[in-house]
Amino acid sequence: MTGTFNQNLSVRHVRGSRWQAAFALATILAVAFLATLVLTIVDDAFGWVIMMDETDRRELTRDGVTLDAQNTAQLLATIDEHLSPRRYRALERELPFADRGRDDLYALVLAEIVNPEIAETYNLFESLVSAQAIKAQAAEEYPEGLLVFRSWVNARFLLAPQSAVPLAAGIKTAILGTLMTILITLAFAFPIGIGAAIWLEEYARDSWLTRAIQVNIYNLAGVPSIIYGMLGLAVFVRGLEPITSGAIFGASAAGDTANGRTILSAGLTLAVLILPVIIINAQEALKAVPGSLRQSSLAVGATKWQTIRYHVLPASFDRILTGTVLAISRAIGETAPLVVIGASTFLTQDPTSIFSKFTTLPIQIYQWTSRPQAEFRHLAAAAIVVLLALMLSLNSFAIVARNKMRKQKRF
């Protein structure tokens, strides 16, 4: 009897441990996939590049001083010598050369005369592992080229507007666009979301209307984001054009009007998109407040709203905040609805008001990724690094704020 019973036991145990290994492997694989994703992005955001100068900067050495160290007079002499008269006059008209500072002149010499172009790029992994091979290749194929280690995320990248030239392109316009859009989103979605959650948790009685609203919110949370884009296109961009283009507020009729395809429309669309998420999170937060807190407040004569305002909301605010930040970081990363409502594909002008045309970081990433050249791929990676950093800092800010508020709680 015992023999039969134990007959397969060792086999079963072996099978058990094999499958356990398989399950563990799947978990490791899943984490590895996601880690690869992040690593690839970092990998592409840094690395060696070979730059070819139109005019070799070694030729621009003047009085034995290299280009980087030249003073204003020397730079002016260089400009006089190398710049075509037509371009010279154009720049002079923009701002007289005499009024320009040394750094401005240096940047001008780099952009107009040296005019570096990227001949070859490498990513971080290659740069670290096969540095010798890269150097040899650079010396052989591009003897006049300049091999430099480039961080594609740099101060210039953050502060420069979009450009067709990869070396000059930056994301300032996109960052401003993202921030302004998110502010609008927050201004609308936060009060309405919390209001809805309060009504559902504190005021609503169990009726068909309440249940309909609740089911409706769950359904909205599952609607694909692109559908919200279609809604935004039809309602905010087209239907409410006089408002969203700023026409009825007398906004500038100068070249930057965007007939409804504005930051305001984008912010409203994203607000509608994240509203269900905010409501559901806020509801969870309100549910976690103990009922005794409400009863004790009502017992000493507070009205319903006073109870909510002075007791329920402060007690649940840390959770509400965390939920809102999660929703906002989702909104920051949204791309599809903004493409649909008509984000500008190539915008060099910073947004001046909520009635300006807009572009955001994810849109910029989308644009750069869809171009075939390697330089733009590196730019896209750099922009993703900035986007992730933005989201990560937002999340950690929320965590710190929540912990601080938790400490102040009295119960």
Partner 1 sequence: MASFIVYCYARFCKKAGTMKHGTIGFYPEERLGRLSFRRAPRPTERLIQAFLFFCAAVSILTTAGIIVVLGTESAGFFKEVSILEFFTGKEWQPSIGKFGIAPLFVATLTTSLTAMAVALPLGLAVAIYLAEYARPRVRETLKPVLEVLAGVPTVAYGYFALTVVTPFLRGLLGQENVEVYNTLSAGLVMGVLILPLISSMCEDALSSVPGSLREAAYAMGATKLETSVKIIVPAAFSGIAAAFILGLSRAVGETMIVALAAGAGPRLTLNPLRSAETMTGHIVRISGGDLSYDSMDYRSLFAIALVLFVSTLFLNILSRNIVKKYREVYE
* Residue with token string 């150097």: 135
Sign (positive or negative) of CA dihedral 80, 84, 86, 88: negative
Residue-by-residue DSSP string for 104-129: HHHHHIIIIII--EEEEE--HHHHHH
Binding string, residues 134-173; x marks residues near partner 1 by CB under 8 A? ----------------------------------------
For partner 1, the binding residues in 173-192 under the rule CB under 8 A are 191-192
The first and second tokens of residue 326, run together, are 């999660």
Segment 42 to 101, residues that bind partner 1, using CB under 8 A: 44
Tokens of 193: 């979301």
Closer residue to partner 1 (CB): 110 or 247: 247
203 sits near partner 1 (criterion: CB under 8 A): yes
Rounded CA-CA distance 261/282 in Å is 31
Among 127, 342, 356, 379, binds partner 1 (CB under 8 A): 342
Out of 200, 251, 268, 386, which residue is the one contacting partner 1 (CB under 8 A)? 200
Nearer to partner 1, 246 or 362 (CB): 362
From CA 83, how far away is CA 92, in angstroms rounded? 12
Which residue among 110, 146, 179, 226 contacts partner 1 (CB under 8 A)? 226
The verdict on 24 binding partner 1 (CB under 8 A) reads: yes
Residues 107-136 binding partner 1 (CB under 8 A) are none
Tokens 């309909």 sit at which residue? Answer: 212
Q: Which of 403, 395, 401, 383 is nearest to 44 (CA)?
A: 383
* Binding status of residue 369 toward partner 1 by CB under 8 A: yes
The answer to whether 387 contacts partner 1 (rule: CB under 8 A) is yes
The residue (of 370 and 403) whose beta carbon lies closer to partner 1 is: 370
Contact with partner 1 (CB under 8 A) among 345, 373, 393, 403: 345
Supply the DSSP string of 118-180, one letter for each residue.
EEEE--HHHHHHSHHHHHHHHHHH-TT-EEEEEESS-HHHHHSPP-SSTTT---HHHHHHHHH
Compute the distance between CA of residue 141 and CA of residue 55 in angstroms, rounded to an integer: 18
- Whose tokens are 């030249």? That residue is 70
Task: Give the residue with the Cβ less far from partner 1, 114 or 343.
Answer: 343
Distance CA 72, CA 351 (A): 34
Q: Is 220 helix (H, G, I), strand (E, B) or coil?
A: helix
To the nearest whole angstrom, how small is the minimum distance from the Cβ of residue 291 to partner 1? Answer: 19
CB 48: neighbour CB atoms within 10 A?
Answer: 21
Q: Pick the closer one to partner 1 by CB: 110 or 192.
A: 192
In the complex, the smallest distance separating the C-beta of residue 361 from partner 1, rounded to whole angstroms, is 9
Q: Which of 355, 356, 366, 398 touches partner 1 by CB under 8 A? A: 366
Q: Are 318 and 407 in contact (CB under 8 A)?
A: no
125 Cα distance to chain centroid: 25
**Residue 7: how many CB atoms within 10 A of its CB?**
10
Q: Candidates 56-64, 142-150, 273-281, 400-408 — which segment interacts with partner 1 by CB under 8 A?
A: 273-281
Closest CB 300 distance from partner 1, rounded Å: 10
Among 77, 90, 218, 295, binds partner 1 (CB under 8 A): 218
Q: How far is the CB of 3 from partner 1 (least distance, A)?
A: 15
- Using the rule CB under 8 A, which residue among 167, 275, 285, 327 binds partner 1? 275
Q: Is 347 left (phi over 0), alpha (psi -120 to 50) or beta?
A: beta
Give the C-alpha distances (Å, rounded to integers) separating 345 from 211, 367, 368: 42, 7, 10
Among 7, 29, 71, 310, binds partner 1 (CB under 8 A): 29
Answer whether 259's CB lies under 8 Å from 243's CB. Answer: no
Q: Tokens 């009825």 identify what position? A: 248
Q: Which of 121, 265, 362, 379 binds partner 1 (CB under 8 A)?
A: 362
Stretch that binds partner 1, among 13-21, 90-98, 177-185, 350-358 (CB under 8 A): 13-21
Which residue has 């001008």 as its token pair?
108
Q: Residue 42 or residue 110: which is nearer to partner 1 going by CB?
A: 42
Write the binding mask 301 to 340 for partner 1: x where contact by CB under 8 A, - elsewhere: --xxx--------------------x--xx-xxxxx--xx
Residue 225 contacts partner 1 per CB under 8 A: yes
Q: Which of 230, 240, 247, 298 binds partner 1 (CB under 8 A)?
A: 230
The Cα diameter of the chain in Å comes to 104
Of 79 and 384, which has the nearer Cβ to partner 1?
384
